[in-house]
Structures are given as structure tokens and as C-alpha cells.
């Protein structure tokens, strides 16, 4: 999305230098490697980089303007927009781009399942909108990622934006909603992720629930206590979703989309309108069925046909790193689901793993992060859950390996079947030495512990 120069100046409240060279339109780029002649380079600051150091390079590559905090960084070439804070300026420009976007916006947040739900929703929306769906790669869900997506929107090429919104601090979602202004919002769940930083469960719920602050129609989880409690305060009746083994009633008005065994059910509580179609779901795990139900509910809100959705479900793909199955030369099945982790996600992955047909099921669990005072208890709970799902061997690592082990022992897993590991190399060596053909190994833990290193080592 290009913005008229005057709109960009007004949005950022910038002081302009070199006005006589100002471009008619502004296309914002933050990476000098992506610059094409005529672009405007915005210099972000990070923990390990400062874009101001690349202003000269940006201009040399064809940028005609720069957005900077420090006027001294401008080499008196092209045009400079000097602002108080380049990140806030980036978000303001994104908000201005969103104002000019004529399509519809789907926002997605939650403690777990955001990226998977986004990935599934984008595929379902493409059934109706084709290539005119724009979403961010991976999990670019912070202020920078959301701003980048909004500024990449193009009315000539896009009808729908799918915006994943992450939160690490109290109020983060509200700031993203202010610029993205979604028409439909999916809240996957409210769990325990980042509770240490948020400060309390109440503040965590308030942060997530801000998804609906600008009037987005809510697509919410019928199994989520926070959503059930807060739903009466919504401006519009909600669209509920859930996945389970049987059909259940939702204790409020609204539309319901549910996956029940091999049936996809869509019914309206208020009008008694009811549809029921058979589906073939090949996505592993109850938690991912729930993510799929959320994506389907949102797609229906965007007028995608229910029968088209049902027909497409067998061919849906999962994002990389989410219950990703691979076969090792040794005959061992490796399941990598360690893109990130919280307690609910850890237990959901263990539940899915319990359904794997294998000679032995080996759970390789790293610790979780940012759980604050609840960390010990939640790791004990996850360890116990691993034992309850009857894993044959459990490898434990990270800061709370002791709690994972203790929880499993309390739940009946013999300590002889628990193997602590200090490094990923050590864990990989144990698997290479001890896992046999026909065994299945689950890798689950926080991104902090880089369990993908184990996958890389085992695939050599």
C-alpha cells in the first residue's frame, strides 16, 4: 500500500527535511535488502540493530526518503521525515494504510493455536477469494509484523487480510487492534502463556479480549471459561466453535460451528437453522481439530460455502513445526511440535501423541517459559499428564526438568523411565542410541530451548 506523502507526514507527525525532493507517494520498507528505487526507508531500532546505521545504504540503493528519529543520520540526500519514535511511526503508517484498504480483515489471537488457526483459515478463505487473501508468514504477529502486513495490503490484489496478533505485555492486543481494526476476530483460547509478564490472569484475559474492542464480530471457543464468562458483554452475538466427540449445547445465543467425530455441524441457536455434513479430517490432535473448527467458523463468517469447506478439509496443510511428522533412517518416527509451548499446548500434544501407533512412545519434553509463579505447578501438571498418557520413556530438559520429572513420578511413571538431558546434543545422542525402529519420539517444549537442533542432529 502506497500512501500520499502528505498522508504519511500527517500520520507520523513528522518534521520534514529536504521537502523539495519529497516523493509523491510513500512505500515503506524497513529492510535495505528489499529496497527498490522510489521506496522510503524506515529505520527501526532493535536490541541488536539500529536501522539508522543503514540510512546511507538505503539511499544508495534507490530510496528517495527516510523516516528516522535522529536528524543527524540524514546525509542531506533525498528527503527525511524525522519522528519521535520510528516504531510508533511504522504503526501509524500501517493504520493509515488500513484506513485505505477496502477489503475485510480477520484478526486472530489467543494463548495457543494462533499460527495454526491462521494457516488453516487462510487456506479455507482461498476457496472463495483465491489468491486475493494476504497473510503474514510464520508468526510475524507483533507490532512490526502486523504493521508490515497492513502496509503490504493492496486493493488491486487483496480482498481479505488475515492478521495474527501476539501479546507479550498487558495491552499489546489493543494496540494492534487500533491499527488493524478487524471485522471478524478469532480468540482461540485464554491459557497461561506469558502470564509472568502480564502480571495476573485478569490482565491476561483483558489483553486477549481487546481483540473485540473495535467492534469485531467474535469467533470464540465454547470450551474456554474466559470466553464463556465474558461473552455477554460483546456488542454482537458470538460465533462459537468447538471440537469434541459429541454435540453439546452452548449456554447462550449465537451461531455454533463444531467438529463432532466425522461430522461438521453448523447451527444457529436463535433460529434453529442447522446443517450437518460428513468430513474427513486428517489433522492430528484434538487441539488442532479445535483450531480447525475456529478457522471454519471464521471462513463461514466470510461467506465461504460449507460444502466447499468440507470437501477441502482432507487436503489442508499444517504450518511447519506443528506436529510435524518425519521418518528417520533408523525407522523411528519423529514428531516435532516444539515451535513453542504452554501448559495447555503441551498436554494437548501429549494427548495426540497417545494416539500414535508405535512400539514405544518416547516424550522428549523441554521446559516452558514465562509462566511466573505458576511455573513449578504447571510443569508438575504437564509431567503428570505425560505419565497419565502412558508414555514409555520421558526425556526432560530445561530449567524445570526436575518438576516435569517429579510430576510424572507422582502420577506413576517409574523414575527409571525418566531421562534428564542437559543439552540438545545429549538428548539427540540418547535417541540415536536407544530409540529403535517402530518407536515414536515427540519433541515438545518452549522455543527458548531450540529443540529443532535435536531434529537437525538426528537427520544427519
User: How many structural domains are present in the chain?
Assistant: 3
User: Would you place residue 33 in the very low, low, confident or very high pLDDT band (cuts 50, 70, 90)?
Assistant: very high
User: Would you place residue 170 in the very low, low, confident or very high pLDDT band (cuts 50, 70, 90)?
Assistant: confident
Q: What is the pLDDT of residues 41-92, one digit of tens each?
A: 999 998 888 999 999 999 999 999 999 999 999 999 999 999 999 999 999 9
Alpha carbon distance 107, 183 (integer Å): 8
Residues 127 and 274 in one domain: yes
pLDDT confidence of residue 193: 59
Average per-residue pLDDT for the chain: 93
pLDDT confidence of residue 139: 78
What is the average pLDDT across 198-215?
Answer: 86
Residues 268 and 231 in one domain: yes
Q: What's the CATH number where 130 sits?
A: 3.40.1190.10
User: Which among 263, 294, 315 is the end of a domain?
Assistant: 315
Residues 197 and 215 in one domain: yes
Range of the domain at 251: 101-315
User: Which among 315, 336, 365 is the end of a domain?
Assistant: 315
Residues 198 and 311 in one domain: yes
Alpha carbon distance 41, 64 (integer Å): 8
pLDDT confidence of residue 196: 60
- Would you say residue 94 lies in a domain? no
End-to-end CA gap in the chain: 43
Answer yes or no: are the C-beta atoms of 166 and 109 closer than 8 Å: yes
**Above pLDDT 70, what percent of the chain?**
98
Give the residue from 153, 143, 144, 138 showing the smallest Cα distance to 106: 153
What is the average pLDDT across 403-426?
Answer: 97
For 117, the enclosing helix (H) or strand (E) is helix 114-129
- Would you say residue 245 lies in a domain? yes
What is the average pLDDT across 145-161?
Answer: 97
pLDDT confidence of residue 430: 97
Residues 339 and 397 in one domain: yes
Residues 141 and 255 in one domain: yes
pLDDT confidence of residue 167: 86
Residues 131 and 233 in one domain: yes
Residues 357 and 445 in one domain: yes
Q: What is the pLDDT of residues 256-287, one digit of tens each?
A: 999 998 999 999 988 888 999 999 998 888 88
Alpha carbon distance 218, 213 (integer Å): 10
Residue 194 pLDDT > 60, yes or no?
A: no
- Would you say residue 427 lies in a domain? yes
- Would you say residue 419 lies in a domain? yes
Q: What is the pLDDT of residues 432-451, one digit of tens each?
A: 999 999 999 999 999 899 99
SS3 content of the chain, % helix, strand, coil (to 5): 40, 20, 40
Sign of the dihedral defined by the CA atoms of residues 107, 109, 115, 119, in that order: negative
Sheet of strand 393-396, all strands in order from the earlier edge strand to the far edge: 324-327, 333-336, 440-444, 361-365, 393-396, 418-420
User: Would you place residue 199 in the very low, low, confident or very high pLDDT band (cuts 50, 70, 90)?
Assistant: low
pLDDT confidence of residue 341: 81
Alpha carbon distance 335, 440 (integer Å): 7
Residues 291 and 332 in one domain: no
Q: What's the CATH number where 441 sits?
A: 3.90.190.20
- Would you say residue 96 lies in a domain? no
- Would you say residue 15 lies in a domain? yes
Residue count of the chain, please give it. 460
Alpha carbon distance 384, 380 (integer Å): 6
- 3-class secondary-structure state, position 104: strand
CB burial string 445-459: b at 16+ within 10 A, e below: bbeebebbebbeebe
Residues 329 and 309 in one domain: no
Residues 247 and 293 in one domain: yes
User: Which among 297, 315, 333 is the end of a domain?
Assistant: 315
Residues 41 and 148 in one domain: no
- Would you say residue 250 lies in a domain? yes
Give the residue from 236, 213, 223 showing the smallest Cα distance to 190: 223
Q: Which residues contact 280 (CB under 8 A, 6 or more apart)?
A: 262, 313, 314
Answer yes or no: are the C-beta atoms of 171 and 209 closer than 8 Å: no
Bridge-based pairing state of the strands 217-221 and 133-135: unpaired
- Would you say residue 261 lies in a domain? yes
Alpha carbon distance 304, 308 (integer Å): 7
pLDDT confidence of residue 192: 65
Give the residue from 91, 70, 92 showing the smallest Cα distance to 81: 70
pLDDT confidence of residue 69: 96
What is the average pLDDT across 144-157?
Answer: 97
Q: Which of 305-309, 317-321, 392-396 is least confident? A: 317-321
Q: How far is CA 315 from CA 123, 212, 279, 318, 393, in A?
A: 10, 31, 11, 10, 33
Q: What is the pTM of this model?
A: 0.85
Q: What's the CATH number where 8 sits?
A: 3.40.1390.10
Amino acid at each position: 500500500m502506497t500512501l500520499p506523502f502528505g498522508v504519511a507526514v500527517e500520520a507520523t507527525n513528522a518534521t520534514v527535511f529536504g521537502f523539495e525532493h519529497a516523493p509523491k507517494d510513500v512505500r515503506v520498507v524497513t529492510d535495505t535488502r528489499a529496497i527498490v528505487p522510489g521506496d522510503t526507508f524506515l529505520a527501526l531500532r532493535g536490541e541488536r540493530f539500529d536501522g539508522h546505521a543503514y540510512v546511507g545504504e538505503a539511499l544508495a540503493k534507490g530510496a528517495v526518503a527516510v523516516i528516522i528519529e535522529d536528524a543527524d543520520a540524514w546525509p542531506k540526500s533525498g528527503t527525511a521525515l524525522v519522528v519521535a519514535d520510528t516504531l510508533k511511526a511504522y504503526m501509524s503508517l500501517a493504520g493509515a494504510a488500513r484506513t485505505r484498504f477496502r477489503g475485510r480483515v480477520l484478526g486472530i489471537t489467543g494463548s495457543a493455536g494462533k499460527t495454526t488457526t491462521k494457516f488453516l483459515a487462510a487456506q479455507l478463505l482461498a476457496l472463495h477469494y483465491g489468491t486475493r487473501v494476504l497473510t503474514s508468514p510464520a508468526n510475524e504477529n507483533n507490532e512490526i509484523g502486523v504493521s508490515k502486513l497492513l502496509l503490504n495490503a493492496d486493493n488491486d490484489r487483496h480482498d481479505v487480510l488475515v492478521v495474527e496478533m501476539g501479546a507479550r505485555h498487558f495491552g499489546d492486543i489493543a494496540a494492534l487492534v487500533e491499527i488493524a481494526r478487524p471485522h471478524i476476530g478469532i480468540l482461540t483460547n485464554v491459557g497461561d502463556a506469558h502470564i509472568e509478564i502480564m502480571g495476573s490472569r485478569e490482565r491476561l484475559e483483558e489483553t486477549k479480549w481487546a481483540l473485540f474492542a473495535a467492534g469485531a464480530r467474535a469467533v470464540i471457543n465454547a470450551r474456554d471459561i474466559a470466553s464463556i464468562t465474558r461473552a455477554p458483554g460483546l456488542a454482537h452475538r458470538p460465533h462459537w466453535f468447538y471440537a469434541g466427540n459429541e454435540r453439546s449445547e452452548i449456554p447462550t445465543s449465537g451461531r455454533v460451528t463444531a467438529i463432532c467425530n466425522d461430522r461438521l455441524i453448523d447451527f444457529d441457536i436463535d433460529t434453529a437453522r442447522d446443517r450437518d455434513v460428513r468430513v474427513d479430517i486428517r489433522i492430528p490432535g484434538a487441539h488442532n481439530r479445535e483450531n480447525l473448527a475456529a478457522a471454519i467458523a471464521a471462513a463461514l463468517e466470510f461467506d465461504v460455502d460449507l460444502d466447499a469447506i468440507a470437501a477441502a478439509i482432507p487436503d489442508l496443510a499444517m504450518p511447519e513445526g506443528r506436529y510435524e511428522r518425519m521418518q528417520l533412517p533408523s525407522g523411528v518416527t519423529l514428531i516435532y511440535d516444539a515451535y513453542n509451548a504452554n501448559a495447555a499446548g503441551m498436554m494437548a500434544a501429549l494427548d495426540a501423541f497417545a494416539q500414535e501407533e508405535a512400539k514405544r512412545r518416547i516424550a522428549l519434553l523441554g521446559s516452558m517459559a514465562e509462566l511466573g509463579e505458576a511455573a513449578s505447578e504447571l510443569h508438575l501438571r504437564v509431567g503428570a499428564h505425560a505419565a497419565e498418557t502412558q508414555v514409555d520413556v520421558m526425556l526432560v530438559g530445561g530449567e524445570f526438568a526436575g518438576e516435569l520429572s517429579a510430576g510424572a513420578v507422582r502420577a506413576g511413571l517409574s523414575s527409571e523411565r525418566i531421562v534428564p538431558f542437559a543439552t540438545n546434543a545429549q538428548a539427540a545422542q540418547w535417541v540415536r542410541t536407544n530409540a529403535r525402529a517402530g518407536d515414536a519420539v515427540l519433541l515438545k517444549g518452549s522455543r527458548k530451548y531450540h529443540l529443532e537442533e535435536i531434529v537437525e542432529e538426528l537427520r544427519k
